[in-house]
Structure 1
Amino acid sequence: MRHVVTGEAVALELSSVSVITRGASLLLDLVVYWTAMALALVALGLTGTTLGVSEAAAAALTLTTVVGFLVITPVAVETLSRGRSVGKLAFGIRVVRDDGGGVRFRHCLIRGLTGFAEIYLTLGLLPLLTGVFTERGKRLGDVMAGTYAIRVRHLSVRPMMLPVPPSMAAWAQIADIGRLPDDLAAGAARLLSTVQGGGRKVDMAAVTDVSDRLAADIVTYVAPAPPTTSSVEFLSAVMAERRNREYQRLRLKQDRAESLHRRLHTLPYT
C-alpha cells in the first residue's frame, strides 16, 4: 500500500501494481494492437492491389498504419479512458499521476512516445529493469510523465457477521476504536470470515498465528487496552463493534433524511 499526498495535503492509500501484473497487462495490449494492425495491413494490401497503388504510396500508408496502431491508438485510448486500456481493464488497473489524480493527454503522449522506444527497441527489457528498481514499479515512460499504475479492482470480502464476544461486550461499548488502515481491516475480515465459515476444516494453529499478528497491529488503534483474551475474540470484538457503529451511523443518517423528506412534503406549497 502506497501513501500519496495530494495537492490539498490529503493522504491517499493507493495500492501500486506489481511488475508481473503490469507486464501481463502490456502483453495483452500488444496482442490487441498488433492483431488489429495486421488485419489493417492485410486490408490495405488487398485494397492497394485492387486499385493499383504505387509503391511509394503503399509504403506511406504502411508507415502511417504502424504509427497509428502502435503510438496514436494507445495514446488516444488511455486519454479517453483516463488511464485504462484493454489490458489494464482486464487486470483491474489504471494509470494515475503521482499525486493520485487522473492522467491527461500530455501524460499519455509522453508515455506513448517513450513506450514505443523502450518496449520495441529494447524488446521489453528496459521496462522490466526500471519496473524492478523503481519504487512503484514504474517504467521509463511513467518516470518521465510522472505517473504510475494502481489497482482499482480488489477481491471481494464476504461480510463478517460474527457478534461481539460476551466477554468483550462491556469493553467494546466504551472502547475508542480509531480508523483502521484498509489492509488491516481487510485482513481481519478475511480471517474472521474463514473462522465463521470454515468449520472443522480450519487450521486453528495457522489462524491463531495470523490473528496474533493482526491483533498486535490493531491493538495500537484502540483504547483502553482490551481485557486478557484470545486474539481471535479481540479481532471479533473490534470488527463487530466497528460494523455495529457504522450501521448505527448510517441508520441515523437515513432517519434524518426521511424526517427531512416528511417535513418538506408537509409544508404548504405557495
Structure 2
Amino acid sequence: MRHVVTGEAVALELSSVSVITRGASLLLDLVIYWTAMVLAFVALGLTGATLEISEAAAAALSLATVIGFLVVVPVAVETLSRGRSVGKLAFGIRVVRDDGGGVRFRHCLIRGLAGFAEIYLTLGLLPLLIGVFTERGKRLGDVMAGTYAIRARHPKVRPVLLPVPPATAAWAELADIGRIPDELAAGASRLLSTVQAAGSTVDRSALTAVSDRLAGEVIRYVAPAPPATSSVEFLTAVMAERRNREYRRLARQQQRAEKLHQRLHRLPYR
C-alpha cells in the first residue's frame, strides 16, 4: 500500500502493482499489437501484389505500420481509456500520475516513446531491472512521465456477520474506534470470514499468528485498551461494533432524508 498526497494535501491509499503483474499485462498487450501488425502486413502484401506498389512506397507503408501499431496505437489506447489497455484491463490495473490523478496525452506519449526504446531495443531487460529497484515498480517511461501503475480492481470482501463477543460487549459499546485503514480492515474481515466459514477445521496455529499480527495493528486505532481476551475476539468485537455503528449512522441518515422528503413534497398550508 502506497500513500499518495494530492495537490489538495489529501492522503490517498493506492496499492501499487508488482513487476510480475505489470510484465504479464504488457506481454498480453504485445501479443495483441503484434498480431494486429502481422495481419496488417499480410493485408499490405496482398494489396501491394494487386496494385503493384513500388518498393519505396512499400517500405514507407511498412515503416508507418510498425510505428503505428507499436507507438501510435498504444498511446491512443492509453489516452482514450485514461491509463488502461487490454492487458491492464485483464489484470485489473491502471496507470495514474504520481499524485494519484488520471494520465493525459503527454504522459501517455512519453510512456509510449520511451517504451518503444526500452522494451524493444533492450528486449524488456531495462524495464525489468528498473522496476525491481524503483519504489513503485516503475519502468523508465514511468520515471520520465511521472506515472506508475495501481491496482484498480480489488477482490470483494463479504461483510462479517459475527456478533460482538459477550465478554467484550460492554467495552465495545464505550470504546473509541478510529478510522481503520481500508487495507487493514479488509484483512481483518477476511480473517473473520475464514473463521466464520471454516469453524473448527481452521488451523489454529496459523489463525493465532495472523490474528495476533492484525490485532497489534488494529489496537493502535482503538481506545481504551480492551479487556483480557484473545486476538480473534478482539478483532471480532472491533469489526462487529464498527459495522453496528455504521449501520446506525446510515439508518439515521435515511430517517433524516425521509423526513426532508416528506417536508419538501407536502402541500403548502396543510
- Aligned 1:60-99 pairs, distance under 5 A: 60-99=60-99
Cα distance, 1:144 vs structure 2: 0.2
Separation (CA, whole Å) in 1 of partners of 2:267 and 2:246:
32
Post-superposition CA distance 1:193-233 (Å, at most 9, x none)? 00001023211121111111111111111001101011111
**Unpaired segments ≥5 residues, structure 1:** none
Separation (CA, whole Å) in 1 of partners of 2:31 and 2:251:
49
Q: Which amino acid aligns with 1:180?
A: I
Q: Which residue of 2 aligns with 1:53?
A: 53
Q: Which residue of 2 aligns with 1:236?
A: 236
Separation (CA, whole Å) in 1 of partners of 2:216 and 2:188:
12
Which region of structure 1 is more displaced relative to structure 2, 200-209 or 161-170? Answer: 200-209
What's the TM-score once normalised by structure 1's chain length?
0.98
Separation (CA, whole Å) in 1 of partners of 2:46 and 2:268:
74
Q: Which amino acid aligns with 1:148?
A: Y
What's the TM-score once normalised by structure 2's chain length?
0.98
Separation (CA, whole Å) in 1 of partners of 2:227 and 2:149:
43
Which region of structure 1 is more displaced relative to structure 2, 250-259 or 21-30? Answer: 250-259
Aligned to 1:95, what secondary structure does the other structure show?
Answer: strand
Q: Which residue of 1 aligns with 2:44?
A: 44
- Aligned 1:252-267 pairs, distance under 5 A: 252-267=252-267
Q: Which residue of 2 aligns with 1:18?
A: 18
Q: Which amino acid aligns with 1:229?
A: T
What is the RMSD of the two structures over their aligned residues, measured on CA atoms?
1.0
Separation (CA, whole Å) in 2 of partners of 1:263 and 1:196:
44
Post-superposition CA distance 1:143-182 (Å, at most 9, x none)? 0000000001111112110000011110011100001112
Q: Which residue of 1 aligns with 2:227?
A: 227
Aligned to 2:123, what secondary structure does the other structure show?
Answer: coil
Separation (CA, whole Å) in 1 of partners of 2:235 and 2:255:
30
Q: Which residue of 2 aligns with 1:32?
A: 32
Q: Which residue of 2 aligns with 1:186?
A: 186
Cα distance, 1:261 vs structure 2: 1.1
Separation (CA, whole Å) in 1 of partners of 2:200 and 2:241:
26
Post-superposition CA distance 1:50-94 (Å, at most 9, x none)? 111111111111111110000000000000000000000000000
Aligned to 1:266, what secondary structure does the other structure show?
Answer: coil
Matched length: 269
Q: Which residue of 2 aligns with 1:126?
A: 126
Identity %: 82
Separation (CA, whole Å) in 1 of partners of 2:245 and 2:50:
73
- Aligned 1:151-190 pairs, distance under 5 A: 151-190=151-190
Q: Which residue of 1 aligns with 2:250?
A: 250
Separation (CA, whole Å) in 1 of partners of 2:264 and 2:226:
46
Cα distance, 1:267 vs structure 2: 3.5
Q: Which residue of 1 aligns with 2:207?
A: 207
Separation (CA, whole Å) in 2 of partners of 1:256 and 1:16:
39
